[in-house]
Structure 1
Amino acid sequence: MTTAAVPTDGRSTTELAITGMTCASCAARIEKKLNRLDGVTATVNYATAHAHVSHPGSVAVDDLVGTVEHLGYGAARPAADDADDEEDTDVLRTRLVMSLVLSVPVVALAMVPAWQFPAWQWVSLVLAAPVVLLGGARFHRAAAVNLRHGAATMDTLISLGTLAALAWSVWALVFGDAGMIGMRHPFTFAPTSGDAIYLETAAAVTTFVLAGRYAEARAKRRAGAALRALLDLGAKDVAVLRDGLEHRVPVDELVVGDEFVVRPGERVATDGVVVDGVGAVDASTVTGESVPVEVAPGDEVVGATVAVGSRLVVRARRVGADTQLARIARRVAEAQNGKAQVQRLADRVSAVFVPVVVVIAVLTFAGWVLLGGGLTAAFTAAVAVLVIACPCALGLATPTALMVGTGRGAQLGILLRGPEVLESTRRVDTVVLDKTGTLTTGVMRLAEPDRVDPTALRLAGAVEDGSTHPIARAITEAARGSGALPPVTGARTVDGLGVTGTVHDGEAAHDVVVGRPALLAERGMPVPAELSARIEAARAGGATAVVVGWGGEAREVLAVTDTLRGSAPGAVASLRALGVRPVLLTGDHEAVARAMATRAGIDEVHAGVLPEQKADAIAALQADGHVVAMVGDGVNDAAALARADLGLAMGAGTDAAIEAGDVTLVREDLSAVPDALRLARRTLATIKSNLFWAFAYNVAAIPLAASGLLNPMVAGAAMAFSSVFVVGNSLRLRRFAPQARA
């Protein structure tokens, strides 16, 4: 059991691995029972066999485990590997092989009367009994456990159907005329009258269900392969530098501040900053970027990326659960354990479905008897109803699609926060993009620094030195190129307008204002006509104009330019192709925003919007009837990301933006935005098609079985196939390709 406390409200989140679940009804029972505990909110996922539980401090983890065990299931700490899954799959395979070997002759003898030698029916009993009693032991055991707790699941239907078929056959053989030596029984797809035996039905249904469970188990392992691959990406050991010497240690022993060596072809052990060496890193396994990224001292690198071409020395910045890889794996696991709204409907249906089917089977038996169809025909129809109606496909419809879709997204650098995001993406008709760091690279530089007044640049750089804004960093870096910066006191940021502070330049102290013309005017420094002309010229060229003033005068204009992301025009075109309207929302001046929007292919621009006004701008679009997605990367985008119907945070952005977003785009590539919408929509479409076929199958099959048009053996094969079909349909999402590579 893994528990992470959240001290802000005294609640904890616990992950439980559940054992013994055999169908969606089991998951629904456990979830319902856990949610009855005071203050507990639980989600139980049949496909992943995990329960995600939020609970107050008054409810201990042992209480949760006890509640699950009281229902007859097991609860334990999630395994770090898949040993338990592999063991269960091996057991299923062994039982399936045994059942298949014994069932084939039983079915062959029943279906081909010419092969029915004297006493063939007694040989069939000897072969069929181990299949039903041993091969189907897990079904009978689960049915008995559930019966003790007054519940019914899919196993109840399988156990009832196969044991009834076996018991009926034994009765007919021992006490009826079916056991007469030399008797032959014709095979039919419809109910029969007389001393019929159903050994082939009991054996074949058990074998078919085992085959379906085995195929399910293998397919679910494939569905979760992307998450397991993510967890396996990290380095296992690392060469740490201590006293100038390399020491090979397990990666778990790394601490923040350690410096370690990464040679060409090795994985970067953890998130850090390059302190020595110039080379490149291949981040394709983590971000989906296919082109290696050049790095030099001062550049950040992400754990699990691969060094290319040169030896690097990296200082660890984040280790363990704080690394980007761990956060990605956590986000994917949380998304897979959640439930979309459509799945909750399926859960409610599954919870009442089994008792309803048992009632229908009883009514079917009674109806055939009352209408004069005979006990044999009545029994055949009732068993067919029990066998074919199992709601397993309903339980697998959503979670398997979520597992595959979120896993594939993680491989492509697209992380969904949870399944509820899927419903949001379907309705989105407007995507609002921030400019700096989203539409553009966010790597800004000072235009023509040689033509700028050195004193103005030095003073501006000193005041901006404490800011993390891309424009401030560009000015500070340009100023540092001319020498050390003077000290500053009283530095203060005016949100969306600029910064102020007192610069101590030698013996003089200057009250410096750096920012928009409005900020300088507010401080009694109106911008003269000459500087206004330079401001307009900079904006016309797509640059951001920053005015520097001190001593009561506006003295210089600094033009800072940004670079449009190369993927931006294609991404905007892809959004339009999806029927989504792109909108640019920025705090920059109208002229600068228009110039950048034109290059990206965006028509609608909202410029001059202060950080606190961005959420209001989103709300205004929503008030006009639009379903809005917001793409941003900075702290000032967090409120807008949270306010939007769907928030997409660029993975290179701030933690505040990432936490506020519903989707995190790990790749620094704007084409990930339409890819995220396409993947989410494709996943939702797969869920809906799975649910349609699962519902349609049961709706069509039960009347056929009740009316006597299905042999129980055929019903068992059809039921097993429905589950395999649903899982197979979900696995098609593994082939989802980004638009650029499609």
Structure 2
Amino acid sequence: MSEGAQVEARKERLSINIEGMHCASCVATIEKALSKKDGVISVSVSLLDEKAVVEYERSRVDRLALEQAVESVGYRARRASITMTLNPHPDEAKMSQLPGQLKQTQGVIEAKSFPTSGKILVEYDEDLATPKTLRRAVKNLGYEADLGAAARTDRESLAREKEIRYYSTLLAMAVILTVPVMLMTLGFLTQLLPAGVSPEVAMFLLTTPVQFISGYPFYKSSFRGLKHGKTNMDTLIMLGTSAAYFYSVAATFFLQGYVAFYDTAAALVTFILLGRTLEALAKGRTSRAIRSLMSLQAQVAVVERNGQEMTIPAEDVEVGDIVLVKPGDKVAVDGEVVDGESSVDESMITGESMPVSKRIGQSVVGGTLNKAGVLRVRATKVGENSVLSQIVKLVEEAQTQKPAIQRRADAIAEVFVPVVLVLAAATFIIWGVVVNAPWDRALSFTIAVLVAACPCALGLATPTAVMVGIGRGAKQGILFRTGAGLEVIPKVDTIVFDKTGTLTIGRPAVTDLVPASGVAVEEAIRIAASVEKNSEHPLAEAVVRHAEDNGIELERVEEFVSESGLGVRAKLHGFNVLVGSDRYMIENSIDLGEICGHQAALQDQGKTVVYVAKDGHALAMLGIADDAKPTSAQAIQTLKDLGLDVWMITGDKEKTARAIANKMGIDNFMAEVLPADKANRVKALQDEGRVVAMTGDGVNDAPALAQADVGIALGSGTDVAVETGDIVLVKNDLLDVVSAIELGRKTMSKIKQGFFWAMIYNLALVPVA
């Protein structure tokens, strides 16, 4: 095994929830601290998601060391926890043993028991354990566990609400006290002051709570960073407001003839708090799509066990269980219909408003809504393996992956604070020493530099736009697996589509039927399908499916024979029936009659021609093709309108490929391309200087998807964990390719606008200050 393969085998992935991040320099500080640890392979820290995703070698570093690295630079690593009430209530001796027993469970970090209440608190790694696995571990020890804590999404929602309330309260207080300070600075309200109280003293009394109560978060964050030798945006806020405040206090009580800056300190705290409140609201919005998806999961399921129906928590359903789904109920788990017919509303997964018909053998997705009949479903995927959980996982991972423009913003923010501090010190020295200006004037210019540089827009605008874009995509069934995919797709100028299963439905279907004179269409299909049902050829399946879709009953045949590459024969009611190619008919001396005149036209359209003959005479000609998806032509035309060069790549013969390309309005195509050679064809386009997106099914097209600048994998709606694409389209609809490009363009436009104005603000106001 190579060294790279050995590292890959030892690699672990860890998510660490972090408290105390407020700006891009916080992100840079944490990333640097984690990257320094021996054994860490990669680190990505998300500001708005408040999470670090670390890939590391488990033999060289462990979770505890990584959490300590986060805490060593002044931030708190927050572990997931859950409180369980045990039933029956264990005695004190058994309660003391439970923490040690539970710590043997994979993912459990720490456990603590409370003998009096019969409860146990468990801290766990969300990547390795879930409330369900913890409850099962307790059950294996002989106890039922009531989950007293909220689910993960509820905990996150409560944390967001708490943060919003906290900053909103501080902001309200700051606004109430700052408004009169500003008015007094402009000369208003002074006549309302009690005798003997000067405007400066009144402003001192109003500003002090703003500075130290409303501004407490900035002091806390700043001192925590300084304690570990780090600076952040809060350091600038703390220094700027403190300098303005304490200078004003000195001017009010100790110095005569100096102007106070209470309004500067109070206003700055208030405006930064407004930004923090908006930031907290942004965090809530970006995770709302995930929470809304998770909330759609069924809470209970009716399962059949030991011949009886029983209602159990949905999370307790096991693979293989038969689940009963009644009209109006949510489908509890992913599974396969084993009995019944119904229509199911899958809009929460696909975005499609029309219900989808379901019958025996078809798949259903957990969380979708059963509209009509009763279904019996065999569970195939449960828990973390379900479609819904996989979608959430993809979105969460994408939100921690940074596009290059965000990495550049973080890099600028990392050096921004030290540079501003140096500029502020230089300003004081130049004005106070070189120019020999009065020291209060030098101090005022220094405060101005610190104040002008305080806003965190540079580090906040980019991740906010990225997360909002990814969240919006998830709602539409467009899953950005990486932030890089979101950044590169607006630059794409060439898009390549695989044909089979991407532009087309992916399975052959009967598209044309030309009967001989005097022969009924239904009779021709009945005869052909009755023979073909004994064959496993894809074209035979298309004929049988066409008969079943039209409600035609098939009959039993005898003496069935399949002749590879030619066709099939059998006896039906004593008559000899042949179904196959024109060559097969000619070899068996079949009179094709007038219908053979339609063969060339069908073949020019890229269709396969199949004849049906009975007792030496042709009854009908069938045209069979893998037909285009209903929205393919519309999607391609829209892409061309957006300025993209559209290509089709296929293994079909050139004649067939040309027919399909012409039908869909595609000007460029590559025919007779083997799957293994598709990546080379994509690379050839890239070598011409093109930025190429490849769209395929994510399985046969994996090398080409990986080679392309952006790989777009079409999911089937039941298998979204496609590892080869940068973008996964849940609905398998090519119009979503258009939506993904438009969403990428809008998101990157917002990012660049935010980046531009933040840079203009800082570059313009700092020198002016």
TM-score by length of 2: 0.77
Match for residue 649 of structure 1?
Answer: 713
Q: Distance in 2 between the 1:702 and 1:528 partners?
A: 92
SS where residue 700 of structure 1 aligns?
helix
- Cα RMSD (Å) of the superposition? 3.7
Partner in structure 2 of residue 726 of structure 1? none
1:633–1:654: 8 Å Cα contact kept in structure 2?
Answer: no
Q: Secondary structure at the match of 1:582?
A: strand
Q: Structure 1's 309 and 443: CA in aligned 2 closer, same or farther, altered over 3 A? A: farther
Q: Which of 309, 312, 334 lines up with 1:249 in the alignment?
A: 312
CA 478–600 in structure 1, closer or farther in 2 if over 3 Å, else same: closer
How far does the alpha carbon of each residue in 1:480-504 deviate from its partner, in whole angstroms, 9 at most, with x for none? 966699999xxxxxxxxx999xx9x
Distance 1:174 1:199 in 2: 13
How far apart in 2 are the matches of 1:589 and 1:557? 22
2:173 matched residue in structure 1: 98
| Secondary structure of 1:583 counterpart | strand
Corresponding residue SS for 2:695? strand
Secondary structure (helix, strand or coil) at the match of 2:213 reads helix
Residue of structure 1 in register with 2:465 after alignment: 401
Matches within 5 A, 1:238-637: 238-243=301-306, 245-369=308-432, 370-390=434-454, 392-445=456-509, 450=525, 457=532, 461-462=535-536, 464=537, 474=542, 539-544=603-608, 560-633=624-697, 635-637=699-701
Partner of 1:740: none
1:46 aligns with 2:109: no
Deviation larger for 534-543 or 311-320:
534-543
1:86 aligns with 2:149: no
For 1:148, which of 187, 207, 227 is the aligned residue?
A: 227
Asked if 2 retains the 8 angstrom alpha-carbon contact of 1:635 and 1:657, the reply is: no
Q: 1:92 to 1:478 in 2, by over 3 A?
A: closer
Confirm or deny: 8 A CA contact 1:638 1:657 kept in the other structure.
no
CA 1:385–1:634: 2 relative to 1, 3 Å: closer
Cα separation, 2, equivalents of 1:472 and 1:347: 59
**What is the match of residue 55 of structure 1?**
56
1:660 is aligned, of 724, 741, 758, to 724
Could you tell me how far 1:49 is from its partner in structure 2?
Answer: 1.0
1:11 equivalent to 2:11? Answer yes
Q: Which runs of 5+ in 2 are unaligned?
A: 1-5, 81-151, 514-523, 549-553, 571-578, 613-619
Q: Does the aligned pair in 2 maintain the 1:238–1:250 contact within 8 Å? A: yes
Post-superposition Cα deviations, 1:688-727, rounded to whole Å, max 9, x if no partner, equal 111111111111111122xxxxxxxxxxxxxxxxxxxxxx
Distance in 2 separating the partners of 1:656 and 1:517: 42
Kindly provide the CA deviation profile for residues 489-529 of structure 1, in whole angstroms up to 9, marking residues without a partner as x. Answer: xxxxxxxxx999xx9x9xxxxxxxx99999x9xxxxx9999
Aligned to 1:9, what secondary structure does the other structure show?
A: helix
Tell me the CA shift for residue 154 of structure 1.
0.8
In structure 1, C-alpha distance between the alignment counterparts of 2:505 and 2:162, rounded to whole Å: 49
Distance in 1, matches of 2:181 and 2:281, equals: 27
Secondary structure of 2:497's match? strand
- Bigger mean CA offset, 556-565 vs 447-456: 447-456
Amino acid at match of 1:433: F
Given that 2:530 and 2:557 are in contact with CA atoms closer than 8 Å, whether structure 1 keeps it comes out as: no
Residue 137 (structure 1) shift: 1.4
What's the CA shift string for 1:190-230, capped at 9, x where partnerless?
Answer: xxxx4112222222222222222112211221232222222
Question: What do the CA deviations read for 1:374-418 (whole angstroms, capped 9, x no partner)?
Answer: 222222221121122025111112211111101111111111111
1:68 partner letter? V
Contact 1:619/1:643, CA 8 A, preserved across alignment: yes
Q: What SS is found at the alignment partner of 1:224?
A: helix
Q: 1:540 to 1:201 in 2, by over 3 A?
A: same
Any idea what the Cα deviations from partners look like across 1:76-110, whole Å, max 9, x if unmatched? 23554322222222222222222233333333222
C-alpha deviations, 1:226-267, integer Å up to 9, x for none? 222222221122222335543221110111122223233332
Task: Give distance in 2, aligned partners of 1:572 and 1:23.
Answer: 42
What is aligned with 1:209?
272
**Residue in 1 that maps onto 2:23:** 23
Q: Distance in 2 between matches of 1:371 and 1:456?
A: 102
CA distance, structure 2, for counterparts of residue 515 and residue 160 of structure 1: 86
Cα pair 1:16 1:75 within 8 Å, conserved: yes
Q: Deviation of residue 655 (structure 1)?
A: 5.9
In 1: Cα distance, 2:334 partner to 2:319 partner: 10
Distance 1:77 1:131, change over 3 A: same
Report which stretch shifted further, 397-406 or 418-427.
418-427
AA aligned opposite 2:756: F
For the 8 Å contact 2:605–2:660, the answer to whether it is kept is: no
Secondary structure at the aligned position of 2:723 is classed as helix
Inter-CA distance 390–307: structure 2 relative to 1 (3 Å threshold): same
Tell me what 1:229 maps to.
292
Letter in 2 for 1:305: T
Q: Map 1:722-737 to 2 at 5 A.
A: none
Task: Look up the match of 1:185.
Answer: none
Q: Matched residues in 2 for 1:86 and 1:103: separation? A: 25
Q: Is the 8 A contact 2:717 2:731 kept in 1?
A: no
Between 284-293 and 102-111, the greater mean CA deviation after superposition: 102-111
1:477, distance to aligned residue in structure 2 (A): 6.3
* Distance apart, 1:471 and its partner CA: 5.7
Query: Displacement, 1:67?
Result: 0.4
TM-aligned CA deviation for residue 616 of structure 1? 2.5
Q: 1:656/1:163 Cα in 2 relative to 1: closer, same or farther (>3 Å)?
A: closer
* CA displacement at 1:51 relative to structure 2: 0.5
Paired residues, number? 648
In 2, Cα distance between the equivalents of 1:644 and 1:528? Answer: 51
Does the CA-based 8 Å contact 1:499-1:515 persist in structure 2? no
The amino acid of 1:124's aligned partner reads: M
Alpha-carbon distance, 1:474 to partner: 3.8
Q: Could you tell me whether the CA contact under 8 Å between 1:440 and 1:564 is conserved in 2? A: yes
Q: 1:111, CA displacement in angstroms? A: 2.2
Note closer, same or farther for the CA distance 1:127–1:83 as it changes in structure 2 (3 Å cut). same
Deviations 1:599-655 (A, max 9, x none): 211122222222222222222322333322121126322222222222111111896
Which residue does 1:725 correspond to in 2?
A: none
Deviates more, 1:305-314 or 1:340-349: 305-314
> 1:113 deviation in Å?
5.8
Which segment drifts farther, 637-646 or 243-252? 243-252
Change (3 A) 1:137 1:546: farther
